[in-house]
Copies of this chain bind each other. A is one copy, B any other.
Amino acid sequence: MISFDVWGTILNLDLMLESFIDSLNGLIGKDVSEDVMMVRKRIKELRKSFEIKPGRDFELSQELLAEKLTVDIDVIRRAAAKAMLRIGGSIVMDGVHQVLGFIKDNGLKSVIIGNVMFWPSSYTRLILERFELAEYFDRQYYSDEVGLYKPMKEIFIKPLSEFGVSPREAVHVGDSFFEDFRGALDAGLHAVLISRSRSETLSGRGFVIESIRELITLLKAEF
């Protein structure tokens, strides 16, 4: 079984963040990009140290941002909706269809394991349906729906339990060193980090690739 992170791995996070920030700027009337990036960093720190109550990471991100910007949380939710209206096909990372097609053709199960911040997973689901990516996945797991977040071991184990797969038969692919790579390794899975720097120290179960396109070659060589 292969599990995938979604934002930054399958969908272009930078584009969506930019669209979200533009929408916020429009609603609030000033540039809030630095505030957004600070809250984002804070949520990632809190996740890394498991300081967020499971199931609360998405809501907390909206609350902290509303507080930071001294606006009602309704403004954050409106900006998320407006951001969605600007999204086009370029949100899908290059090579994704080929990689997911290869996995499907080889009869491997695949799922999404995604953390949620600022916009709800229902929007991510909508994008995956719209660009015909949802069909490739046997199940989607998001932190706001399952009440667990990466790098908690439980969120990596949950799909394996449900599909009757052992961690050693599973590989998780993602672009975050702590949430995806270390999280999956700590849960006993194989892990593939998508990173342009390739400078990470690897364990026997860890691999680094530069883009998701390289996943096919890696899967052929190593699994």
Chain A residues close to B by CB (< 8 Å): 72, 74, 77-78, 80-82, 84-85, 119-120, 122-123, 125-126, 128-130, 134, 139-140, 145
Q: Is the CB of A122 within 8 A of B85?
A: no
Closest beta carbon of chain B to A92's beta carbon, Å:
15
Could you write out 29 A-B pairs with CB less than 8 Å apart?
A: A72-B139, A74-B139, A74-B140, A77-B122, A77-B125, A77-B140, A77-B145, A78-B125, A78-B129, A78-B134, A80-B125, A81-B122, A81-B125, A81-B126, A81-B128, A81-B134, A82-B129, A84-B126, A84-B129, A85-B126, A85-B129, A85-B130, A119-B122, A120-B120, A120-B122, A122-B122, A122-B123, A123-B126, A126-B126
Closest beta carbon of chain B to A137's beta carbon, Å:
9
Beyond the given pairs A72-B139, A85-B126, A120-B120, 4 more chain A to chain B contacts, judged by CB atoms under 8 angstroms and listed by A's residue number, are A81-B128, A81-B129, A81-B134, A84-B126
Residues of B within 8 A of A134 (CB): 78, 81
Closest beta carbon of chain B to A134's beta carbon, Å:
6
Knowing A85-B129, A85-B130, A129-B85, say if A80 contacts B122 (CB, 8 Å). yes
Q: Which residue of B lies closest to A137 (CB)?
A: B74
List the 10 shortest-distance A-B pairs measured between CB atoms, nearest first.
A81-B129, A81-B125, A120-B122, A81-B126, A122-B122, A74-B139, A82-B129, A84-B126, A85-B130, A85-B129
